[in-house]
Amino acid sequence: MIDFGTLPAEIDPVRIGKFWYVRVIDDARLLTIAYARVSSHDQRADLERQKLRLLEHAQRQRIQVDQVIAEAGQ
């Protein structure tokens, strides 16, 4: 669960389906970070599919992804 109440005001997360896109200002430069997560290590294959779907969607929307963060829960 993301607690948007703790994010700085200039960060505007956008949810697209199951995925969140967040643009972060870094020294006046906008970065786009794609975040994928699964709840267990048993779902590693799902994590790879999520990352691929995020990148494919970003490409279709002409969004340059600067960083991909992927997490597997316990």
By the 8 A CB rule, do 73 and 42 touch?
Answer: no
3-state secondary structure of 28: coil
Token pair belonging to 54: 């995020």
* pTM value > 0.85: no
Single-letter amino acid code for the residue at 16: I
User: Could you tell me the end-to-end alpha-carbon distance of the chain, in angstroms, rounded to an integer?
Assistant: 15
Higher pLDDT, 44 or 18: 44
For residue 7, what pLDDT band results from cuts at 50, 70 and 90? low
Report pLDDT digits (tens) over 28-41: 667 788 888 888 87
Token pair belonging to 41: 């290590």
Rounded-to-integer distance, Cα 42 and Cα 10, Å: 36
pLDDT of residue 53: 93
